[in-house]
Amino acid sequence: MKIVFFYPNPDKAHQWAAQLKAEGVEFEAIFWQPDQTVSADYAIVWLPPEEFFTSVQDLQAVFNMGAGVDALLNNKYLPADLPVVRLDDAEMGLKMTEYVVHAIAQITRRLDQYTALQQQKVWSGTADYPYFEKWPVGIMGFGRVGQQIADVVHALGYPVHTWSRTAKTAEGITCHHGQTGLKEFLRSTKILINVLPLTPDTTNILNAENLAQLQPGSSLINIGRGHHVVDNDLLQALDSQHMAGAILDVFRTEPLPSEHPFWSHPAIRITPHISGPTHAAKAIQQIAQRIHAQQAGLPLEGVIDRQTGY
């Protein structure tokens, strides 16, 4: 069996290959280079260049070393019938949950204020009790990651609303769905968490019209994709003080260009796409299990639906 690897930093691709061998998969490793045509059974990649798929032949499947498959699906050379396998979590959901809990505390406990006060050596606690029930949390995207976030945020005591494409139910959580459920979801939300997959239907979903539906003084935590947000609409919602703040981990262009107004906006906090890192060893373990199963004649697990895009 031959497996071709691509990661922007080649050292990491070599590490993945060694980890996959340690999981008992027997294969010849190929590390993709431009201008070289290769034949391989599987590809294991993160953000491969466009021409990757013009130069790799005979693939049975491509494994994406992340949860979001949007970049792969946007590759115009990706063969239409090639199974694309996404990672099923591999601890990413918990890491994103940890990020979200921190971000929620930053908003509801006004933690930024204390960083500023420390600089002035001022000891000044807030008199207001931060009631959980005053901060309804809305989670857009209720798949594996959204569910983990919802469970933890609900366990803390926040009212939790979710929005997804299709109808879902979960105990103690108010689930909304579809175009018809979107307005009510947004109107119920004071802290909006975006973990949607990026598809043609969800691109630009956080636009002026939808942000206007959020409760006054609301905040956005975006750990989905930058293309979910219309940047200027978010800036306007913040500048008009309809929204109080945004904690952003993902951007339309990454790295975020230095001239982008998000960098210096007082109500925006930026992290450089770190909320859901891939735990390489767990991801490779999952891929190894899937390859072993397919080799044993079982169906390949984790293949995304090309129609819905996730």
Name the residues that contact ligand GLV, by CB under 6 A.
Answer: 66-68, 276, 278
Pairing mode of beta strands 268-270, 191-194: unpaired
> Residue 67 or residue 186: which is nearer to ligand GLV going by CB?
67
Enumerate the β-bridge partners of residue 229.
Answer: 206
With CB atoms as reference, the residue minimizing the distance to ligand GLV is 66
Q: Going by DSSP bridges, is the β-strand pair 243-248/268-270 parallel, antiparallel, or unpaired?
A: parallel
Pick from 99, 110, 90: nearest CA to 46: 90
Nearer to ligand GLV, 245 or 276 (CB): 276
For ligand GLV, the closer of residues 73 and 246 by Cβ is 73
The least CB distance from residue 289 to ligand GLV, in Å, is: 19
- Catalytic site positions: 225, 273
Tell me the C-alpha distance between 29 and 18, whole Å.
Answer: 9
Separation between Cα atoms, residue 156 and residue 32, nearest integer Å:
46
Q: Beta-carbon neighbour count of residue 70 at 10 Å?
A: 18
Q: Report the residue number, 222 or 278, with the smaller CB distance to ligand GLV.
A: 278
Q: How far is the CB of 279 from ligand GLV (least distance, A)?
A: 11
DSSP-derived secondary structure letter, 226? G
Which of residues 108 and 222 has its CB atom nearest to ligand GLV in the complex? 222
- Would you list the DSSP string of 37-85? -EE-SEEEESS--TTHHHHEES-SEEEESSS--HHHHT-TTS-TTS-EE
Q: Are 163 and 138 in contact (CB under 8 A)?
A: yes
How far apart are CB 132 and ligand GLV at their closest, in Å? Answer: 29
Q: Nearest distance from residue 305's CB to ligand GLV, in Å?
A: 16
- Least distance to ligand GLV from the beta carbon of 69, Å? 8
* Alpha-carbon span 192 to 211, nearest angstrom: 10
